[in-house]
Structure 1
Amino acid sequence: MNLTFDIKLTYPGFELSCQQEINLAGITGILGHSGSGKTSLLRVIAGLNKDAIGTLTFKSQTLQNSSAKQFVKAEQRSIGFVFQDARLFPHLNVLDNLHFASKRCQTSCLAVDEIIELTKIERLLNRHVGQLSAGEKQRVALARAILSEPKLLLLDEPLSALDNNARAEMVTILRDIHQRLRLPMIYVSHSVIEIQQLAEQVIVMEKGDIIQQGHVHQVINQLHSSIANNLNSQTSLTLTVKQHLVNYGLTQLELAAAQSSKDLDPSSTVKSKLFCNLVNHKINSQLRCYILSSDISITTALPKDTSVINHLSGEIKEINRFSGDSAQLIICASQQDFIVSISRYSVEKLSLVLGQNVFIQFKANAIRSY
Structure 2
Amino acid sequence: MSELANLVLACDKRLGDCRLSLNISLPLQGVVGIFGLSGSGKTSLINLIAGLIKPDAGRIEFQQQCFVDRQRKRWLAPEQRRIGYVFQDARLFPHYTVRGNLLYGHPTRADTPEKLARIVELLGIKSLLARHPNGLSGGERQRVAIGRALLSDPQLLLMDEPLASLDEPRKQELMPYLKALSSEFNLPIILVSHSLNEVLQLVDHLVLMDAGKVVQHGPLEQVWNSPAMQPWLGVTEQSVLLTAKVAEVTDDHGMLPLALANKADEGGKPLCLWSSCHREKEKGQVLQAGHDVRLKIRAADVAVSRVQPEQTSMRNILPVTLVSMTELADQQIEWLMAVGEQFIKARITAWAQQEMQLKAGESAYALIKGINVLGVSKKS
TM-score normalised by structure 1 residue count: 0.91
Instruction: State whether residues 293 and 373 of structure 2, in contact with CA within 8 Å, keep that contact through their aligned partners in structure 1.
Output: no
Q: Residues 110-141 of structure 1, C-alpha deviation per residue, up to 9 Å, x if partnerless?
A: 61000001111111111111111111111000
Report the Cα distance in structure 1 between the residues aligned to 2:77 and 2:233, rounded to whole angstroms. 46
Aligned-partner SS, 1:85:
coil
Corresponding position: 1:272 with 2:277: no
Name the residue aligned to 2:257.
252
Corresponding position: 1:242 with 2:237: no
RMSD: 2.2
Q: What residue identity is the alignment partner of 2:52?
A: L
Greater Cα shift, 31-40 or 21-30? 21-30
What's the CA shift for 1:351?
0.6
Corresponding position: 1:196 with 2:200: yes
Report the Cα distance in structure 2 between the residues aligned to 1:86 and 1:198, rounded to whole angstroms. 20
Greater Cα shift, 314-323 or 107-116? 107-116
What's the CA shift for 1:202?
0.9
With over 3 angstroms needed to count, the CA separation of the structure-2 counterparts of 1:164 and 1:136, relative to structure 1, is: same
Q: Which runs of 5+ in 2 are unaligned?
A: 281-285, 376-380
Name the residue aligned to 1:307.
313
Q: Which runs of 5+ in 1 are unaligned?
A: 259-268
Report the Cα distance in structure 2 between the residues aligned to 1:189 and 1:105, rounded to whole angstroms. 34
Aligned-partner SS, 1:286:
strand
Aligned-partner SS, 1:248:
coil
Report the Cα distance in structure 2 between the residues aligned to 1:162 and 1:229, rounded to whole angstroms. 25
Q: What residue identity is the alignment partner of 2:166?
A: L
- Alignment: residue pair count: 359
Aligned-partner SS, 2:225:
helix
With over 3 angstroms needed to count, the CA separation of the structure-2 counterparts of 1:315 and 1:227, relative to structure 1, is: farther
Name the residue aligned to 1:126.
130
1:133-282 aligned within 5 A? 133-222=137-226, 223=228, 225=230, 230-244=235-249, 247-257=252-262, 271-278=270-277, 279=280, 280-282=286-288
Corresponding position: 1:22 with 2:21: no
Query: Structure 1 residue aligned with 2:333, among 317, 327, 337?
Result: 327
Greater Cα shift, 221-230 or 156-165? 221-230
What's the CA shift for 1:345?
1.1
What's the CA shift for 1:326?
1.1
Name the residue aligned to 2:101.
97
Query: Structure 1 residue aligned with 2:366, among 357, 360, 367?
Result: 360
Corresponding position: 1:5 with 2:4: no
Report the Cα distance in structure 2 between the residues aligned to 1:186 and 1:51, rounded to whole angstroms. 19
Q: What residue identity is the alignment partner of 1:102?
A: H
Report the Cα distance in structure 2 between the residues aligned to 1:60 and 1:324, rounded to whole angstroms. 52
Greater Cα shift, 8-17 or 216-225? 216-225
Instruction: State whether residues 200 and 374 of structure 2, in contact with CA within 8 Å, keep that contact through their aligned partners in structure 1.
Output: no
Instruction: State whether residues 255 and 273 of structure 1, in contact with CA within 8 Å, keep that contact through their aligned partners in structure 2.
Output: yes
What's the CA shift for 1:87?
1.1
With over 3 angstroms needed to count, the CA separation of the structure-2 counterparts of 1:158 and 1:270, relative to structure 1, is: farther
Q: Residues 130-164 of structure 1, C-alpha deviation per residue, up to 9 Å, x if partnerless?
A: 11111111100001101111011111111111222
Query: Structure 2 residue aligned with 1:74, among 51, 67, 78?
Result: 78
Report the Cα distance in structure 1 between the residues aligned to 2:259 and 2:308, rounded to whole angstroms. 20
Q: Residues 222-256 of structure 1, C-alpha deviation per residue, up to 9 Å, x if partnerless?
A: 24556798132111123212245784221111111
What's the CA shift for 1:315?
1.5
With over 3 angstroms needed to count, the CA separation of the structure-2 counterparts of 1:349 and 1:192, relative to structure 1, is: same
Query: Structure 2 residue aligned with 1:47, among 25, 46, 51?
Result: 51
Report the Cα distance in structure 1 between the residues aligned to 2:165 and 2:297, rounded to whole angstroms. 27
TM-score normalised by structure 2 residue count: 0.88
Instruction: State whether residues 7 and 27 of structure 2, in contact with CA within 8 Å, keep that contact through their aligned partners in structure 1.
Output: yes
Instruction: State whether residues 298 and 360 of structure 1, in contact with CA within 8 Å, keep that contact through their aligned partners in structure 2.
Output: yes
